[in-house]
Structure 1
Amino acid sequence: MKAMILAAGLGKRMRPLTDHCPKPLLPVAGKPLIVHHLERLKRAGIEEVVINVSYRAEQIMGALGDGSAHQLHLHWSVEPQPLETGGGIRKALPLLGEAPFLLVNGDVWCDRLPSAAALTEGDLAHLILVDNPEHHPNGDFALDRGRVTPMGEPRLTYSGIGILHPELVAREPLGAFALAPLLKQAMAKQRVSGEHFSGHWVDVGTPKRLAELEQHLAQP
């Protein structure tokens, strides 16, 4: 199974840290945030990783190269302008192929990665859901007997990690578009499964949360 890391964002919430450094290269616990992802993917048995880039793309590509330093094969999907999550995935499909792939938001930290077996036949996505953080108290979706639904209680937050089938976005025209509406359409057809992960997860979206993650990882 291949993986895709979403790393094309502008990092506006991280300013001023991202004025001269793209968010994936911001250091945490002694190494760039995206390197933590690469190391975790390698431990999970992933060998090929597609990374979409836009803002300061040359810096990210120059820092990681072909991935050989991390015993991975990296493929780059360059976006002259950010295409949002859905559009970024759609553009990268020729690199991802026709099989389901692991999707990881580049600005999250999580100890959980699902296996390919988590996506059952006929489903378009399997999502990792987490408890709602303080900055997102109303959550995104609900979980009902292993199926993800747009409505219902209790509310949970999409972690930014999941298994996606290319069919979810393959029929969309190239260009910028969000992923959430397509997920909701698939949910309405009972084609999205999920699981609740209660371990450590961080949306590393602001300097404050980056500092909190640094402090957490510094603990023995």
Structure 2
Amino acid sequence: MKALIFAAGLGERMRPLTDHTPKPLLAVGGKPLIAWHLEKLAALGVSEVVVNTSWLADRFPEVLGDGSQWGLKLHYSYEGATPLETGGGMHHALPLLGDAPFIAVNGDIWTDFDFAGLPAEPAGSAHLVLVNNPVHNPHGDFALAGTGRVDSDGKAKFTFSGIGVYRARLLDTWREVIGGVAGTEAEPPRFKLAPLLRAAMALGEVSGTLHAGRWTDVGTPQRLKALDQELSRLR
């Protein structure tokens, strides 16, 4: 199984920390955020990981090398000076990911979620890991039914953790779903993944699970500092 780590963001809310270091390379608990993911993926048996890059792209191979220190083979999918968003980034990386289902993880989160809980073969086009809503996203993103089906709306909505398993077919209809939005006319195209997920949800093609453990979206210097202090205490 292969995996994609989204690491192309500009990290604007993290300035000045990200002036010279991409957000996924910022350290928490003694190692870069992205290294926590690489360790989990290697333990799961993932052999190849694609890291999409844009801002300070050269820093990734400088720090991570070819992935051999984790027993992985790393590929870098450079998107240019302007990141392609999640959908465009995934679309751009597909030639490196192949046709089989793959894991995708946001490079700027931390979690104790066990990746072994992810399905190797999602029933539909995608399987998402959801978490309880943090303070900065109180209304959540998607609803999770008792059957494991994920929908755009429902009585109880949870936050998307940034962890999922996807089939390449999710992107087959991106032009029909997103066509006309600024960025889609570019080459390579730039677009968000959420509209494609919502379209797939309407067809009953998205499943999910709720992770009730620890999870942090490292979106601000304050969250980064708090997470680093917490992890350092546990070492």
TM-score where L is the length of structure 2 = 0.89
Residues 65/170 of structure 1: CA separation in 2 closer, same or farther (3 Å cut): farther
Of 119, 123, 131, 2:122 maps to: 119
CA shift for structure 1 position 72:
0.5
Of 192, 197, 212, 1:183 maps to: 197
Q: Contact conserved, 2:30 with 2:232, CA < 8 A, in 1?
A: no
Q: Contact conserved, 1:90 with 1:172, CA < 8 A, in 2?
A: no
Q: Contact conserved, 1:93 with 1:170, CA < 8 A, in 2?
A: no
CA shift for structure 1 position 31:
1.1
Q: Contact conserved, 1:24 with 1:107, CA < 8 A, in 2?
A: yes
Identity level (%): 55
Q: What is the correspondence of 1:75-154 to structure 2 with a 5 Å cutoff? A: 75-80=75-80, 81-112=82-113, 113=115, 114-117=117-120, 119-120=122-123, 123-144=124-145, 145-154=147-156
Q: What is the correspondence of 1:36-75 to structure 2 with a 5 Å cutoff? A: 36-75=36-75
Q: Contact conserved, 1:148 with 1:187, CA < 8 A, in 2?
A: yes
Of 133, 158, 161, 1:159 maps to: 161
Query: What stretches of structure 2 of length at least 5 have no aligned partner?
Result: 176-187
Is 1:169 matched up with 2:183?
no
- What is the root-mean-square deviation of aligned Cα atoms in Å? 1.2
CA shift for structure 1 position 218:
2.0
Q: 2: distance between equivalents of 1:176 and 1:61?
A: 24
Q: 1: distance between equivalents of 2:131 and 2:35?
A: 23
Instruction: Please list the CA deviations of residues 36-62 of structure 1 after superposition, one character each: whole Å capped at 9, or x if unmatched.
Output: 111111111111101100000001122
Q: Contact conserved, 1:24 with 1:60, CA < 8 A, in 2?
A: no
CA shift for structure 1 position 93:
0.3
Instruction: Please list the CA deviations of residues 154-182 of structure 1 after superposition, one character each: whole Å capped at 9, or x if unmatched.
Output: 11000000101111114436410000000
Instruction: Please list the CA deviations of residues 92-127 of structure 1 after superposition, one character each: whole Å capped at 9, or x if unmatched.
Output: 00000001100100001112224333612xx00000
Q: 2: distance between equivalents of 1:55 and 1:104?
A: 18
Q: Contact conserved, 1:110 with 1:200, CA < 8 A, in 2?
A: yes
Is 1:9 matched up with 2:23?
no
Moved more, 35-44 or 82-91: 35-44
Q: 1: distance between equivalents of 2:173 and 2:76?
A: 22
Residues 146/116 of structure 1: CA separation in 2 closer, same or farther (3 Å cut): closer
Q: 1: distance between equivalents of 2:18 and 2:216?
A: 18
TM-score where L is the length of structure 1 = 0.95
Q: 2: distance between equivalents of 1:48 and 1:146?
A: 28
Amino acid in the other structure paired with 2:107: G
Q: 1: distance between equivalents of 2:174 and 2:61?
A: 27
Instruction: Please list the CA deviations of residues 49-94 of structure 1 after superposition, one character each: whole Å capped at 9, or x if unmatched.
Output: 0110000000112211211122110011001020000000000000
Q: 2: distance between equivalents of 1:190 and 1:58?
A: 40
Moved more, 128-137 or 18-27: 18-27
- SS of equivalent to 1:219: helix
Amino acid in the other structure paired with 2:227: L
Amino acid in the other structure paired with 2:153: M
